[in-house]
Amino acid sequence: MTTQEFISQNLDADIRDLALRHAGRTDIDLPFALDQIAGRQKARKKLPTWAANDAIIFPPALAMEQCSSEQTAAYKARVARRLIAELPVLPALPNNPTTLIDLTGGFGVDFSFMAPLFGRAVYIERQARLRDVSRHNMAALGITQAETLCGDSAQIIASVGHCTMIYADPARRDAQGGRTFAISDCTPDMVAIKETLLDKADFTMIKLSPMLDWRKAAADMGPHVGEIHIISAGNECKELLLVMSRKYDGTEKIYCVNDSQTFSFTPSQFSLPPQPSQSSRFYQPSRLSPPAYLYEPNASLMKAGCFGLIAREYGVSQISHDSHLFTSPVEVPAFPGRGFRIRAVTTMNKRELKTALAGISRANVSVRNFPMAADALRRKLKLKDGGDAYIFGTTDGGGRHVLYICEKCNKQV
């Protein structure tokens, strides 16, 4: 049996079981085979186009864990396309004169989505094995303008000429393999080379950990950060993306993205106080008589913290300053998050609870600004998980612990 036959026959097998049952085999390259099977299994959800391409070679587990999904890579390509279009009109040339340089190639997913937009695309990776895998994969994907290099990107970028875009996804692990989050602790240190990046490229796009505070990340990278993108997929915050350029003199726009939703605002909008006519819409205490609808912002908006702006834009009221849930007497189909129709609102009083929960045996329980974890609250309420009911435990503007008992709106965003 060849290694490829072993892979083909075990694409749906459990990796741990395979490793144990076939340990010591010499007729196949077992470590390589396990990487391919595990990588293709993970790629079915994360990189479906790549998973469907039999010629793709998958890297070890860490590189698969760290790479972007097709969804987030496609978003970055759309941003890159828009930025290229903003450049001054170029003289007519026989070939596309634009150049992309990816400083931290990795598995090359982001590179593969952006490279076709450029006349020349240079991939740089420190690890020769990953470089070789990506060189093979770029050919398998038909990306003919790709050049793959192995070396220290900070040294290479210092020696190249001007380019259209530099992209970087700095490694967020230290020499011992531990996770790092601060920009200056990543490899390469983007803060240390930011002036070089600004000098070398029309635009620099930097992917960072979603754990970072977007305000501090922008401040660390300096006054030429013009765009901040907080990117979520499936309502889970995945990436923080900064765009830098000498043409920017301060942040121009923040984008909150979740799947097909995009909510954008400027720093000046973020700090606007409520209009006098709308002041009652902010931090209004619940009166325990249910408004018609409850709204939960998507993960990117939660990360951005632009709650006052959301209330202002969509005419909804915050349940309290710290709860980050909103109510409205009318349905707001365009709200960027989940929407629910409120059935009842109750305190934790046993009699009120009994009335409000009548007929409910299972529910999806969430908490925001509530002194109990969701699982603990569900146990206290003696409910099973799941079903059509949604219960939000929170604290209202008067400091009372309340439950909003809801059902999903027909339209979910």
Alpha helix locations (H) across 205-248? 214-221
Residue 276's pLDDT is what?
Answer: 46
pLDDT of residue 282: 43
- Three-state SS at 173: strand
pTM of the entire predicted model: 0.88
The CATH architecture to which 3-64 belongs is: Orthogonal Bundle (1.10)
pLDDT values of the chain reduced to their tens digit, one per residue, 413 residues: 899 999 999 999 999 999 999 998 889 999 999 999 999 999 999 999 999 999 999 998 888 888 999 999 999 999 999 999 988 766 555 566 899 999 999 999 999 999 999 999 999 999 999 999 999 999 999 999 999 999 988 888 888 889 999 999 998 765 555 666 678 888 888 999 999 999 999 999 999 999 999 999 999 999 999 999 999 999 999 999 999 999 999 889 999 999 989 999 998 887 655 554 444 444 444 455 667 899 999 999 999 999 989 999 999 999 988 899 999 999 999 999 999 999 999 999 999 999 999 999 999 999 999 999 999 999 999 999 999 999 999 998 888 999 999 999 864 44
Residue 348 CA, chain-centre distance (Å), reads: 36
Place of tokens 């209202």: 396
Other residues' Cβ atoms within 10 Å of the Cβ of residue 195: 11
The topology under which CATH files domain 69-270 is Rossmann fold (3.40.50)
- In 10 A of CB 72, how many CB atoms? 23
Residue 341: beta bridge partners? 293, 407
Residue 90 neighbours by CB under 8 Å, 6+ apart: 97
> What angle in degrees, to the nearest 10, is found between the helix axes of 214-221 and 190-200?
60
